[in-house]
Amino acid sequence: MTAYPAWTPASRPGIIPLHPLPFGTILGRSFSALRQNPRVLLGFALVVQTLAYLIVTAAIVGVAWASFTRLDTLRFGTEEFEAVMAGSIAITMIAGLVLGLAAGALGVVVQGIVVIEVAHAAVAEKLRLSALWRQLRPVVWRLIGYTLLLTLAVVIVTGAVVAAIVGIAIAAGPLAILFTVMAILAAIPLTLWLMIKLLLAPSAIILEHATIGQAVARSWRLTRGRFWPALGVIILISLVFGFVAQIVSVPFSFLSTGLTTVIAPTGDPEPSAIIAMIVVLLLTQVVTLLLQSVAVVVQSTATAIIYIDCRMRHEGLDLDLLAYVERRDAGATALPDPYREHIGRAIAPRLPQPAYAVPPGYPPAYGQAPAAPYGQVPPYGQAPVTPPYAAQPTPAPRPAPQPAPTEEHPAPAPTAWTAPGTPADGVDRESPWA
């Protein structure tokens, strides 16, 4: 009994096409991917950002209250008062820095959830928050450690530059101004370059379970040749959200002015201050948290899509994803993670495909690769190779032109056609008609 293959439906499309992506597709899908799973992406990001903001604000206010209340027992203008004031300011600033780093670590957790969600959405899978967290949990501390190390490196470099500027200012003031301007001008391109070269390190930690050193090396290699598209996507997204934030802040300013005029028409400072604080601070912070949550989701989505695109171009990840989708839709279970297979695989550069198929035996169009012979498939990533065209028979040379007949050189008389084997006299004696 012959077994025929079972029919399987067409694979569901993911949020991105499974082939190397152009610049516009990366930028557009970074915004549209939020609709894939808004409850998980936007809801989780908004909750985490709000909790981080409230915890950091409450902690800083508590530290400042505990440190500055000691000034009530001291007399203003004394040395002890000045020392306690300086210590209170320093403690508050250090607490703000530490708590800000902690809030940044929570933001990295949001990025990890978004990257895993985008990786699954690329193959048309939609998971719950609990399933996403189970995949992130084994590497969450490694991800937080990478973020803290990167922040520590930035703080050390910035502190060294500031110390150098202060030292130069003590020795020569004008030279310190020139050094500051040069340092700022040099820091802008250096920061952008390092930001893109290290952009994919968190994605490598999350999806490949790479160590911190391996993730940095992976990001450095994958962004090779894709620096400008990645930089363009990140800069455009930042400009879009910065522009939106400026637009949103304008209506709240007018609203605050209008409410102040209505509630306190006489210009009483207390109601005006209260209304301004409630409207401007509270409502503005709510909208700011919402914009920050959306910005974190969109930027993390863009980072994940850039990571997938770079691996498609350098390592042929699209082949692994297509094979995974086909096997999954065919009913296979317990499939391996396609993002952890063939890590670091090198493929030949891809050539642009012709607009139409060239029939075998015909020369290719200008600028197109030769077509493979019928029935032969070229190796992946290599140009199709065809055998040389069959040698054509060399045509016989044309006879030399004969001169026109003249009286001195008449044309030769035509000869009668005779069958092979006929005697010279033209009589076929074997024929019954002879």
Instruction: Count CA atoms within 13 Å of residue 27 on its CB side.
Output: 15
Q: How far apart are CA 196 and CA 189, in angstroms?
A: 11
Look at residue 245 in the predicted model and tell me its pLDDT.
78
Tokens describing residue 197? 């070269």
Region of 77 on the Ramachandran plot (φ > 0 left; ψ -120 to 50 alpha; else beta): left
Look at residue 116 in the predicted model and tell me its pLDDT.
92
Tokens describing residue 164? 């150098």
**Maximum Cα interatomic distance, the chain, rounded to a whole number of Å:** 156
The DSSP symbol for 137 reads G
Dihedral sign computed on CA atoms, order 353, 358, 360, 364: negative
Q: Residues near 324 by Cβ (< 8 Å), separated by ≥ 6?
A: 123, 335, 338
Q: Can you give 73-116 as a three-state secondary structure string?
A: HCCCCCHHHHHHHHHHHHHHHHHHHHHHHHHHHHHHHHHHHHHH
Cα 421 to its chain centre, rounded Å, is 87
Q: How far apart are CA 230 and CA 26, in angstroms?
A: 9
Q: Is 431 helix (H, G, I), strand (E, B) or coil?
A: coil
Look at residue 281 in the predicted model and tell me its pLDDT.
65
Look at residue 387 in the predicted model and tell me its pLDDT.
47
Integer CA distances (angstroms), 300 to 35, 61, 121, 153, 293, in order: 14, 31, 14, 22, 11
* Alpha helices (runs of H) in 277-411, residue ranges in sequence order: 284-315, 317-329
Please identify which residue in the block is written with the tokens 């210590």: 87
Look at residue 11 in the predicted model and tell me its pLDDT.
63
CA neighbor of 116 nearest in space, from 106, 128, 107: 128
Look at residue 142 in the predicted model and tell me its pLDDT.
92
Question: pTM for this one?
Answer: 0.71
Q: How far apart are CA 52 and CA 44, in angstroms?
A: 12
Residue 108: count of CB within 10 angstroms of its CB: 21
What Rg value do the Cα atoms of the chain yield, rounded? Answer: 38
Look at residue 155 in the predicted model and tell me its pLDDT.
84
Amino acid at 37: N
Look at residue 187 in the predicted model and tell me its pLDDT.
87
Per-residue pLDDT 10s for the chain (434 aa) are 455 555 556 666 778 888 888 998 898 888 887 777 777 778 888 888 788 777 777 777 777 777 777 766 777 767 777 777 777 777 777 777 777 767 767 778 888 999 999 999 998 888 888 889 899 999 999 998 898 898 888 888 888 888 888 888 787 777 878 888 888 888 899 999 999 999 999 999 999 999 999 999 999 999 998 999 999 999 999 898 888 877 877 776 666 666 666 655 555 555 555 555 566 666 777 777 788 888 888 899 999 999 999 999 998 898 899 989 888 888 888 888 899 888 888 776 665 555 455 555 555 554 455 544 544 445 444 444 444 444 455 666 666 666 666 766 676 665 555 555 555 555 545 544 44
Q: How far apart are CA 34 and CA 41, in angstroms?
A: 7
Q: How far apart are CA 233 and CA 299, in angstroms?
A: 9
Integer CA distances (angstroms), 317 to 66, 337, 349, in order: 55, 12, 14
Please identify which residue in the block is written with the tokens 């980072």: 303
CA neighbor of 40 nearest in space, from 102, 138, 131, 103: 131
CB < 8 Å & 24+ apart, contacts of 130-134: 132/40
Q: How far apart are CA 192 and CA 161, in angstroms?
A: 18
The helix, strand and coil proportions of the chain, stated in percent and rounded to the nearest 5, come to 65, 0, 35
Q: How far apart are CA 260 and CA 265, in angstroms?
A: 7
